[in-house]
Amino acid sequence: MKDNPAPHFQRLVWLGAGLVALIGVLLGIDRLAADHLKDEVEITARDWAAQMTRSVPGLGQILDGQSASAEAQAALDVMQGSAGMLSFRLYDRQGRLRFQSESQDPLATGQTQAAEVPAQVLAGQRQVLLNQGNGITRPTVSSETWLPLLEQGLAIGVIAIHADQTDRAAFTTASFRRVALLAGGALAASFAIGAAVWRRRLAVERQAHDRLQYLVQHDTLTGTLNLAGFRQRLQQACAQPVAAGQGLAVLAVDIDDFKGINDRHGHRAGDHVLASTAQRLRSVLRGADSLARLGGDRFAVMQLGVADSGDVKALAERILATLAQPCDVGDGQVLLSASIGAAILGVDGGDGESLTQHAEQALLRARAAGRGGYSFYDPGLDAALQRRRQLALDLELALAHGRLQLHFQPLFQGRDGRLQGYEALARWHHPLQGPISPAEFIPLAEENGLIRALGRWVLHTACQEAARWPDGLTVAVNLSAAQFEQGESLVDEVRGALESAGLPAARLELEITESLLMNHTDQVLHTLKALQMLGLKVGMDDFGTGFSSLAYLWRFPFDKLKIDRAFTQGLETDDKVGVIVRAIVQLAHALGIRVNAEGVETEGQRQALVRHGCDELQGFLLGRPQPVGKLAHETQPEPAAV
Ligand code: C2E
Ligand code: MG
Ligand code: MG
């Protein structure tokens, strides 16, 4: 780990502050000691002054200028002998010197002038001065104290005492420093303890903060970044200037059929798959890249150092390869696959938000194209996707508000042109976009789970209408493959529609496309048989356009086969088509199946189809799909017979 220079700097600052504080404290202590010394000097001087007024007889007369009596002189000599006293002088109230002690005081020199008495002392105040000496000719510390001499509370003169304070000063300063040291030590100790506690608390708080920060930005299951963390890192990276060859891409990764894995193996296994996915993704990323789980089974990668789309493709392929390895779950192994959508900064978006969004749109397209693939963002395709999404919402509304319609296209007998019935075809007139082809909105309804409701509506409406038609006319209803996922309930629905309309089952035909039979064949065949048991007919629509159509012809007893209009259209241009149509008709007839030919647009086609033996014809030549109000229920317009 790299050293953080901040703590060293902080320590230096603390040390400096401590030294300054120490010097400040020592200076302060010496000052305090000096003040204290002054107080003590003054107290001693006051004691001496009081003693003088008490013990010197005739002090008043001395101050008035008379000579001291022998008795007074003796008392003054005793005063002079007091410990520490260097000399003293007595002045009268006007400041005239009246007495000066005999002494060895180096400062006491002969007659002293009255002017030397400080004015404030003459005014009754006290004054203490401390002087520094050299310790040889003058004491190291001496005091000069000026005090009024009081007798019964009245000032009778002034005394000036000069005393040696060297020992007392040394003692006082030493005592103060000792106390200061002790107090400072105690203070420092409590400060150090406080600082240690404070630092510990800060460390704990920082740890808690770091942990919280981690949780706020990471996914606990996989240890990767979460959506918030990813967003932040991506925004920061996008804000940096992009150097050549140092581009950025976002790859949205989604595990295919993760819901199925959860359903089949349980949520613990699902969690394990997610954790393993994160681990595998990490293993194919470079150090600077970031990995996030955005929610559910949605992962995102921020790839750095991207020179061109080739780098992104290479990473996408590495991801697909690593995820394709089998993954152990509690009760066995699962084979994973994933789909990836990618968007490159500066090409597919200028900021993190739009990049992520576009990578996810690309992912949708990758998924739509089949599993286990990757796709790049493409604005054109995404506009189409957007339109489809909007259209799906509009379709849902149209369905809910009964704005869909049914048109009916007549079906005629081939030979005599007699009206057989109609095929019901759903119509949607979009309020803004005009008519939308069922070839577009039926698959849309299938993708968006609307087909069940739509199919039920078509079935009921078609049966209700057909019940009002002349007896014998049939109605053909198209069924979507998605409706067969309902299984048995589809049979109930059809039965219900017939019953509520009062339409005999024999007048209903259901058309399915062969693509339906390609998946889940057995289940579909089972449902088809149950439907046929109701008494209705089942036809195969668009015959010949899918795969292996013939295989189904013997597996299910279709009542009708509708030859796709591509054949009808090819009849006049290619002779081989006629051969195929004839063969289909013969095959169907041999199996007892009627044949319808769709898309008859020309008289030539009609005649050819009749010649080839088609039982039923349908096409714009004979009648376009019409709303129910326009149905004439008439036989095929002339010329009918061939
Ligand atoms: P389809 O079942 O094969 O319906 C016949 C389609 O051919 C209809 O197209 C019809 O208008 C069109 N057609 C009829 N005669 C001619 C002709 O002479 N020339 C040309 N060029 N076309 C002709 P439409 O109505 O656009 O329906 C397209 C497909 O949408 C239908 O094909 C059917 O598969 C599906 N579809 C329509 N309505 C429904 C429905 O209610 N449910 C389901 N599941 N599918 C439906
Ligand atoms: Mg049809
Ligand atoms: Mg058709």
Closest CA to 138 of 167, 162, 116, 107: 107
Nearest CA to ligand 1 atom 37: 425
Alpha helices in 371-450 (DSSP H): 379-400, 438-447
Q: Could you tell which of 563, 598, 609, 616 is best to mutate to test the pocket of ligand 1, judged by most ligand atoms within 8 Å of the CB?
A: 598
Phi/psi-derived region of residue 305, left when phi > 0, alpha when psi is between -120 and 50, beta in every other case: left
Cβ atoms of residues 416 and 615 within 8 Å:
no
Cα-to-centroid distance, 595 and ligand 1 (Å):
17
Tens digits of per-residue pLDDT, 163-218? Answer: 889 988 888 888 888 887 887 788 778 878 888 888 898 988 898 888 888 888 99
Cα-to-centroid distance, 539 and ligand 2 (Å):
9
Q: For residue 554, give both structure tokens.
A: 């013997």
Q: For residue 530, give both structure tokens.
A: 């149950």
Cβ atoms of residues 108 and 100 within 8 Å:
yes
| Ligand 1 and 442: CB distance under 6 A | yes
Place of tokens 């996707």: 385
Closest CA to 381 of 346, 341, 344, 353: 341
Coil, strand or helix: which one is 464?
Answer: helix
Rounded (10°) CA dihedral 259, 260, 263, 265: -120
| Ligand 1 and 541: CB distance under 6 A | yes
| Ligand 1 and 373: CB distance under 6 A | no
Cα-to-centroid distance, 562 and ligand 3 (Å):
7
| Ligand 1 and 610: CB distance under 6 A | no
Reported as type and span, the H/E element at residue 407 is strand 404-413
Tens digits of per-residue pLDDT, 96-132? Answer: 888 888 755 555 444 444 447 888 888 888 899 988 8
Contacts 24+ apart (CB under 8 A), 12-17: none
Nearest CA to ligand 1 atom 17: 599
Q: What whole-number distance in Å separates Cα of residue 342 and Cα of residue 250?
A: 6
**How many Cα neighbours within 13 Å face the side chain of 202?**
6
Cα-to-centroid distance, 564 and ligand 3 (Å):
6
| Ligand 1 and 409: CB distance under 6 A | yes
Q: What whole-number distance in Å separates Cα of residue 364 and Cα of residue 384?
A: 12
Cα-to-centroid distance, 496 and ligand 2 (Å):
22
**Phi/psi of residue 581, each to 5°?**
-60, -45
- Counting atoms of ligand 1 from 1, which one is nearest the CA of 425? 38
Amino acid at 618: Q
Cα-to-centroid distance, 185 and ligand 3 (Å):
102
pLDDT averaged per 10 residues, the chain (length 642): 57 76 77 88 89 88 87 86 85 87 57 63 88 85 90 87 89 84 80 86 88 89 95 93 85 91 86 95 95 94 94 96 90 88 90 93 87 88 81 96 97 94 98 95 91 96 97 96 86 97 98 81 88 97 77 86 95 94 95 97 96 97 96 74 44
Largest CA distance in the chain: 180
Bridge pairing between strands 474-478 and 508-513: parallel
